[in-house]
Amino acid sequence: MIEAFLALFPAAVLAQAPAIMVAAPMLGAALATVLPGGRPAWVVALFCSLITAVFAFVLLFQTWGGEVISYAMGGWAPPLGIEFRIDGLNAPVLLLLGVLSLLGVIFALPSVADEIAPRKQSLFYATFLVCLTGLIGVTSTGDAFNMFVFLEISSIATYILVAMGAEQDRRALTASFNYLVLGTIGATFFVIGVGFLYMATGTLNMHDMALRLVELDDNRVVQVAFAFVIVGLGLKAAMFPLHVWLPNAYSFAPSFVTAFLASTATKVAFYTLIRFIFDVFSVEAPFVSAAFVWVIAALGVIGMIAASVQANFQTDARRLLAFSSVGQLGYMLLGLGIGTAAGVTAGVLHLLNHALMKGALFMALGVFAIRYGVRSINDLRGLGRTMPATASAFSVAGLSLVGIPMTVGFVSKWYLVSAALDRGWWWAVAAIAVSSLLALGYVGRLLASIWLQSPPERALMAAKDRIPVMMLAPMWVLAIANVWFFFDATPIVELARGAAEAALAGAPR
């Protein structure tokens, strides 16, 4: 099947796949900017997202057997030129970006038309494509400074997208500003770390940098660089306690923006963290191995519990799910902190699965919002009667978030518990259990309001209004995926296992 799919493309096109994937949304953004209305710009965004998804599959299949693609941008060979490096670690993340951007753009047409003024819609889609360009660039590049550049491209676009929620709630402007300030701090920490690495090695190519660091792992400059990189990327990924920008950004952004960012942005930052730790630094260095346990795993466990406790006290549904995202990132960090092939597999697996969960949940909230404009948990009461299809999709994704059997969330936690037990980390297993119970508490509040309470009068009056199919279809694709990959978890587990193998292989030492 893989050979038949790749045979559909000329060899020259396959050779340019990494460049095409980042160039398509970048050029689409320029085109969407000058288009007169939102619908033509949406068509451009849809076409670019489709190209991104198709070439994500191309790159995944090209690296499926463990192959590594080294693409020299502009024909300048690395380490002097900028290299795009695709392997088993970032190919699944590129696939996630491609598929979620395509589903998100389909969802966006009625949602953006409802929330964004017509005169701003073309700029909205252009900004989204700039954000997508940055995320793809971060995931694809093998150059440390180029990674910083793409990280800032995606971040600046994200600040604008969040601020566009001001038409629904003026607090989006404050949320965007706070995100900008903290995002800039995170980027500054990251680029300082990259600067220290350049000072120690004289190169910015990550593969070449790793080779030159072999004899410098005990160097103080390298250790300081490691600390700056961890803090910078931890802030971008919303690692506890560096997550304070995330709840407001998710709460007040347009529905499509929240669904897309929750599914992709923090996942890309987490991938970048894995890439640096395994591909640049030596995991055998004492300061790195100590950081696995005392920083990454420890903050992961604290975040799992603390953020879940905070989620239980929220009254706004989006804000609740935002705190939940911080807690769910803790599971990924715990898998990374375990430091074994099984642990990294579990962390990447939860990265992929959590994108399915949060994408469906925030899309469902977007559907609720376009019908009734609801935001608070109290406003969700009785929606199981008035909007059963959307409420059912929301419930499936919510139960997956808890880790109930017959959902993909259970698969993630099974692999994470197994990896922790292999290390003898009973305390981590206990933390997973506590966090899952807390998740059951806040998801249970949402589902009780939806299914067990009576709808208000206005809900019954509007019950016959039709929901756009373009919002329901991508939401249900993700909801079904939450169940499908429980019964047939092999594809997604193989993606995670291949990513872990690629990460542990790292650069030649």
Residue 403: inside a domain, yes or no? yes
Residue 493 tokens read as 């587990």
Give a yes or no: residue 470 inside a domain: yes
**What is residue 379's predicted lDDT score, i.e. its pLDDT?**
85
C-alpha to C-alpha distance for 446 and 384, rounded to whole angstroms: 11
Instruction: Count the residues in the chain.
Output: 509
> Which residue stretches of 276-340 are H helix?
286-291, 298-311, 317-338
66: left (phi over 0), alpha (psi -120 to 50) or beta: left
pLDDT tens for residues 96-149?
999 999 999 999 999 998 888 888 999 999 999 999 999 999 999 999 999 999
pLDDT of residue 463: 47
DSSP track, 51-67: HHHHHHHHHHHHTTTS-
Q: What is the pLDDT of residue 378?
A: 86
Q: Are 383 and 457 in contact (CB under 8 A)?
A: no
Q: Is pLDDT of 57 > 60?
A: yes
Three-state DSSP at 146 gives helix
**Domain membership flag for residue 389:** yes
Instruction: Return the ∠ at Cα 483 (arms to 482 and 484), rounded to 5°.
Output: 100
d(CA 276, CA 222): 12
Which among 5, 10, 142 is positioned nearest to 60, based on CA atoms?
5
Query: Cis omega before residue 40 (within 30°)?
Result: no
Q: What percent of the chain has pLDDT over 70?
A: 97
Instruction: Encode pLDDT of 160-215 as tens digits.
Output: 999 998 888 888 999 999 999 999 999 999 999 999 999 999 999 998 998 888 87
pLDDT of residue 487: 94
Q: Which residues contact 331 (CB under 8 A, 6 or more apart)?
A: 300, 304, 346, 347, 350, 354, 412, 413, 416, 432, 435
- The stretch 382-401 carries a mean pLDDT of 92
Contact 310, 287 (CB under 8 A): no
Return the DSSP state at 165.
Answer: G
Residue 202 burial by Cβ neighbours in a 10 Å radius (0-12, 13-18, 19+)? exposed
> What's the helix, strand, coil split of the chain in %, to 5?
80, 5, 20
Query: What is the full DSSP assignment across 213-271?
Result: TTT-TT-HHHHHHHHHHHHHHHHHTT-TTS-TTHHHHHHHS-HHHHHHHHHHHHHHHHH
Range(s) of the domain holding residue 327: 300-509
Confidence band for 509, pLDDT divided at 50, 70 and 90:
very low
CA distance 259 to 177: 20
Tell whether the model's pLDDT for residue 15 goes beyond 60: yes
Position 217 scores a pLDDT of 62
Share of the chain above pLDDT 90, in %: 68
Q: Is the confidence at residue 500, as pLDDT, over 90? A: yes
Do 242 and 307 form a contact (C-beta atoms < 8 A)? Answer: no
Is 424 within the bounds of a domain? yes
Residues 30 and 231: their CA atoms lie apart, in Å, by 33
Which stretch of DSSP H or E encloses residue 430?
Answer: helix 426-452
The answer, yes or no, to whether residue 458 has pLDDT greater than 90, is: no
321, part of any domain: yes
Q: Cβ distance 450 to 380 under 8 Å?
A: yes
Residue 28 domain-assigned (yes or no): no
Instruction: Give the per-residue pLDDT at 10.
Output: 86
- Phi/psi class of residue 75: alpha, beta or left (left: φ > 0; alpha: ψ in -120 to 50)? left
Q: Are 130 and 121 in contact (CB under 8 A)?
A: no
What's the rounded mean pLDDT across residues 381-388?
Answer: 87
Tokens of 425: 């980390």
Q: Output the average pLDDT for the chain.
A: 90
**Residue 76 or 51, more confident:** 51
Domains contained in the chain, number: 1
Bridge partner residues of 70 (DSSP): 85
What's the confidence (pLDDT) of residue 507? 47
Residue 451 pLDDT > 70: yes
Distance CA 370, CA 210 (A): 50
Six-digit token pair at 468? 């756009």
Query: If pLDDT is split at 50, 70 and 90, which confidence band does 506 have?
Result: low
162 within a domain of the structure (yes/no):
no
Q: Which contiguous run of DSSP H or E holds residue 116?
A: none
Q: What is the 3-class SS of 333-398, one letter each residue?
A: HHHHHHCCHHHHHHHHHHHHHHHHHHHHHHHHHHHHHHHHCCCECHHHCCHHHHCHHHHHHHHHHH
The whole-number pLDDT of residue 410 equals 95
Q: What is the pLDDT of residue 464?
A: 43
pLDDT for residue 457: 62
CA dihedral 305, 308, 312, 318 (to 10 degrees): 170
Tens of pLDDT, residue by residue over 313-357, are 999 999 999 999 999 999 999 999 998 999 999 999 999 999 999
Letter for the amino acid at 256?
F
Q: Identify whether 485 is part of a domain.
A: yes
Provide the pairing of β-strand 83-86 with 69-72.
Answer: antiparallel
pLDDT digits (tens, 9 = 90+) for 222-260: 999 999 999 999 999 989 888 888 888 888 899 999 999
Q: Which helix (H) or strand (E) holds 41?
A: helix 38-62
What pLDDT, on a 0 to 100 scale, did the predictor assign at position 465? 55
Q: Is the peptide bond before 241 cis (omega within 30 degrees of 0)?
A: yes
Closest CA to 103 of 259, 254, 305, 235: 259
Burial class (CB in 10 A: 0-12, 13-18, 19+), 39: middle
Q: Which of 172, 150, 171 is nearest to 162 (CA)?
A: 172
DSSP secondary structure letter of residue 456: P
Q: pLDDT at position 258, please?
A: 93
